Amino acid sequence: MLEHSKWLSSGKPAACPCFIRAFAVAPDLCRAVLTITAAGVYDARINGRPVTDFFLAPGWTSYLYRHQVQEYDVTHLLDTHNQLEVTVGSGWFNGEIARTRRPKDTPVLLLAQLDLYHADGHVEHIYTDEQWLSAESPVRMADIYQGETCDTNFRDTAPVPAVAFDYPKTQLIPQEGEQITLQEQLKPVRIFTTPAGDTVADFGQEITGIVRVELDAPADTVITLQCAEVLDADGNFYTANYRSAKSTMELHCSGPTCWQPRLTYYGFRYLRITGWPGSVDPDALTAIVVHSEMTRTGRLSCGVPKLNRLFENVVWGQKGNFVDVPTDCPQRDERLGWTGDAQVFINTACYLFDTKKFYTKWLGDLMADQRSTGAVPSVIPDVFHGPKNIRIKSSTAWGDAATVCPWQLYRHYGDLDLLRTHFGTMKRWVDYMTSITTTPYLWTGYQTLTDRVFNPEHYGDWLGLDAPEGSYTGSSRKDLIASAFYAYSTELVIRAGHALHEDVSDYETLYENIVAAFRAAYDGDYRTQTEHVLALHFHLTADPEATAAGLAQLIRDNGDRLTTGFVGTPYLLYALSDNGYPDLAYSLLLQEQFPSWLFSVNQGATTIWEHWDGQKADGSFWSPDMNSFNHYAYGSVAGWVFETAAGITPCEELPGFARIRVVPRPDARLGWLDVSLETAFGTVVSRWFCENGRVRYEITVPVASEIVIDGKVREVPAGSYVFWGSVPKAR
């Protein structure tokens, strides 16, 4: 691919160089195709018009091993005389986000080829080479974390030849993922002055995106827009939780101006505006949402407005963290493909949107970054380490993305080939745990290992509320969590092996041994909510009834409130509802006191928070350090609403919703629930209404399915059905 083109670097110092090629075309031109990529992110225009809607192309992959190339039909943009101009910013390639993966001494680069097809059959090729010019662009600075500075009046009047740069091409691959594109637009809901005297615009919704600025500016105007997610207790602009990310838009302009950043993105609800000439006209500012293309598939609403707001927050959390890679957050100096967060949320993500292509590309990077030992980096693309011959240690529940993500994609989309592609990765991850433990059939002793590069140890029940003072890690035992996930991942390898008709007898034996060892080590001694949850949800406890009763007791003793972190929370409601306590699961869902999902809603959240008390009732913050207000992990609760409250699940024997189970579990406190899901086979609907002590169910299935109402199993052909049932009694 692109074998005749040369990687080009700028011939003069430039933060975001513009590469220029003028060319003429003969009148018999019938088609023109641009094949292009950059080491960095590019904005390509022909005669001033964008060649694509793809924002921040070529996207983010594990560039050492996989670097996407795009192809665009640009025929409609051509004239007799043409100018192709490509501005390249550092992006994920060598901006600050690239950390140690930042290729030292490699500047931003462009690689392209333009093919001009003529009516007489001959094809002209324009390759990137020393005939191209390079210039400084009006973009004076661009960085994913720091933002973008643009001088709209800047013109480089002295372009110089671009320089060929020696950089490999063997890692080039065709575009695999979804394109990142500009989405809906929002206007400020208010512009106000804070007590500290700052002028602030509030868009009413936390988003991930950019801002368009339109004004007629006096000469030498310099406007700065800085991002924030929340205001502090006094109503002042608050940026400490962005840590080192400046997240700023700086615009130098004179005269009529319409500008928006082209080489970075932001996570924000509020903007602090400085340097604006006169008072700020709300019409002058437009927030533009940015995320990867994905079709909405799942919808959910119920009779409790606050829960509907929570569901919306989950959707916004997904949009905001689906910028080519499933990220932890879109605003502070992370925005990384944290594997733990991804495996926690993938089930919910697959219900809400069609994410198959999005995750397939990311799993390609996970596979590329997995070590020969089987270790899986904590973030994919792995920016914490250098090339993959560097030994790393993996954290439990993070590395398990290697098994959980392919398995969830298989459940949701039924693609056996995709599962086969990742089967080796899944097995290697389990083998890694087998090889690294100090106790056979458990995963122990990790902390004592000395070959650490980045991760000191397991992250544990990250941000669990039972954390000791000053710690981010909940008090569930790390060896127990690690051993539970060892069992779970082994179980997933077995299930995948069965689907693929592979011999997994060794893993079946391993699994039995892990369960036996787990019981010998821990059964009957679960100490935290999360420990109970894992023992129940991963089917490890020998006495589910007693373990469920223990979990229920802990929750009730805590005033019907949770203490779980990243590891326990995703399975908490399942562990309750699958083991006889659905009413308690609903109580947690409906809980409004801290800690709870609705606490953040009552605090005005418009996305899902990283921490249960990101902002406390008095407006103070739990920490400036680990306090994102757009972290999708706890949004995984929406998966439970699809799968348990509405009861829609794919059947494992016919995955991808070729056969569906619908087992709704109503609760009168919601009044009604209306959930729908677009599948490859048609729309599934599960609705229930609690009316006068009875429940009316309206269920539509697009394929032959199993519907279970009040414990009664019905095999039904595709169609719409109404059933009546009784309101379940609280235990």
Q: Which is nearer to ligand BGC, 134 or 347 (CB)?
A: 347
CA distances from 570 to 150, 552, 592, 615, 669 (A): 42, 16, 18, 21, 22
Smallest separation (angstroms) from ligand BGC to the CB of 626: 6
CB of 385 to ligand BGC, least distance (A): 15
Give the DSSP H or E segment for 182. Answer: strand 180-186
Q: Minimum distance from CB of 624 to ligand BGC (Å)? A: 13
CB of 338 to ligand BGC, least distance (A): 4
Nearer to ligand BGC, 126 or 329 (CB): 329
Look-up of token digits 């991760």 = 455
Give the separation between CA 142 and CA 148, rounded to whole angstroms.
Answer: 4
| Cross-strand pairs, 215 | 257
Rule CB under 6 A: say whether 340 interacts with ligand BGC.
yes
**474 Cβ contact partners less than 8 Å away, ≥ 6 residues apart:** 460, 461, 462, 463, 464, 465, 466, 467, 528, 530, 563, 564, 565, 567, 568
Closest CB 17 distance from ligand BGC, rounded Å? 32
Q: Which is nearer to ligand BGC, 324 or 328 (CB)?
A: 328
Near ligand BGC by CB under 6 A, which window of 99-107, 333-341, 354-362, 643-651? Answer: 333-341
Cβ nearer to ligand BGC, comparing 17 with 377:
377
d(CA 605, CA 315): 13
Helix (H) or strand (E) holding 349: helix 339-352
Q: In terms of CB distance, is 288 or 463 closer to ligand BGC?
A: 463
612-651: which residues touch ligand BGC (CB under 6 A)?
626, 631
Site string for ligand BGC, 28-67 (x = CB under 6 A): ----------------------------------------
Q: Per-residue x/- mask for ligand BGC, residues 275 to 314, rule CB under 6 A?
A: ----------------------------------------
Strands 248-259 and 147-151: parallel
Q: Residue 464 or residue 582: which is nearer to ligand BGC going by CB?
A: 464
> Is the CB of residue 209 less than 8 Å from the CB of residue 290?
yes
Residue 518 touches ligand BGC, criterion: CB under 6 A: no
Rounded Cα distance between 91 and 80, Å, is: 33
Q: Please identify, using beta-carbon distances, which residue of 342 and 517 lies nearer to ligand BGC.
A: 342
Q: How many residues belong to the site for ligand BGC (CB under 6 A)?
A: 10
Query: For the chain, what is the largest distance between any 2 Cα atoms, rounded to a whole number of angstroms?
Result: 82
Among 232, 341, 365, 667, binds ligand BGC (CB under 6 A): 341
- 3-state class of 503 per DSSP? coil
Residues designated catalytic: 334, 610
Choices 60-68, 72-80, 87-95, 335-343 (CB under 6 A): range interacting with ligand BGC? 335-343
Give DSSP secondary structure letters for 230-269: -B-TTS-B--GGGTT---EEEEEEEEEEEE--SS--EEEE
CB closer to ligand BGC out of 423 and 597:
597
Of the candidate spans 19-27, 337-345, 517-525, 598-606, the one that interacts with ligand BGC by CB under 6 A turns out to be 337-345
State the SS3 of 268-334.
Answer: EEEEEEECCCCCCCHHHEEEEEEEECCCECEEEEECCHHHHHHHHHHHHHHHHCEECEECCCCCCCC
Name the minimum Å distance from CB 666 to ligand BGC.
33
Q: How far is the CB of 166 from ligand BGC (least distance, A)?
A: 36
- Taking the complex as a whole, the smallest distance from the CB of residue 84 to ligand BGC amounts, in Å, to 39
Q: How far is the CB of 473 from ligand BGC (least distance, A)?
A: 8
Residue 242 binding ligand BGC, by CB under 6 A: no
Closest CB to ligand BGC among residues 427, 477: 477
Residue 338 in contact with ligand BGC, rule: CB under 6 A: yes
Rounded to the nearest whole angstrom, what is the least distance from the CB of residue 638 to ligand BGC in the complex?
18
The HSE-up count of residue 718 (CA atoms within 13 Å, CB side) is: 9
Strand partners, 35: 71, 113
Three-class secondary structure of residue 73 per DSSP:
strand
CB of 135 within 8 A of CB of 15?
A: no
Of 465 and 684, which CB lies nearer to ligand BGC in the complex structure? 465
81-89 and 18-24: which strand pairing? antiparallel
Question: Can residue 266 be called a binding residue for ligand BGC (CB under 6 A)?
Answer: no
Stretch 578-597 residues interacting with ligand BGC (CB under 6 A): none
* The one-letter amino acid at 508: E
Nearer to ligand BGC, 380 or 499 (CB): 380
Contact between 453 and 393 under an 8 Å Cβ cutoff? The reply is: yes
Give the Cα separation of 682 and 670 in Å (integer). Answer: 27
Closest distance of CB 478 from ligand BGC, Å:
12
Candidates 247-255, 311-319, 338-346, 514-522: pick the segment binding ligand BGC (CB under 6 A): 338-346
Instruction: Identify the residue among 136, 334, 369, 461 touching ligand BGC (CB under 6 A).
Output: 334
* Interacting span for ligand BGC (CB under 6 A) from 227-235, 280-288, 334-342, 503-511: 334-342
Residues 435-464 that bind ligand BGC (CB under 6 A): 459, 462
Question: Which 473-492 residues touch ligand BGC, going by CB under 6 A?
Answer: none
Residues 6+ apart with CB under 8 A from 364: 61, 66, 176
Contacts of 233 (CB under 8 A, 6+ apart): 618, 619, 620
How many Å apart are CA 482 and CA 451, to the nearest integer?
18
Among 148, 328, 369, 643, binds ligand BGC (CB under 6 A): 328
DSSP-derived secondary structure letter, 19: E
Q: Summarize as ranges the residues that interact with ligand BGC (CB under 6 A).
A: 328-329, 334, 338, 340-341, 459, 462, 626, 631
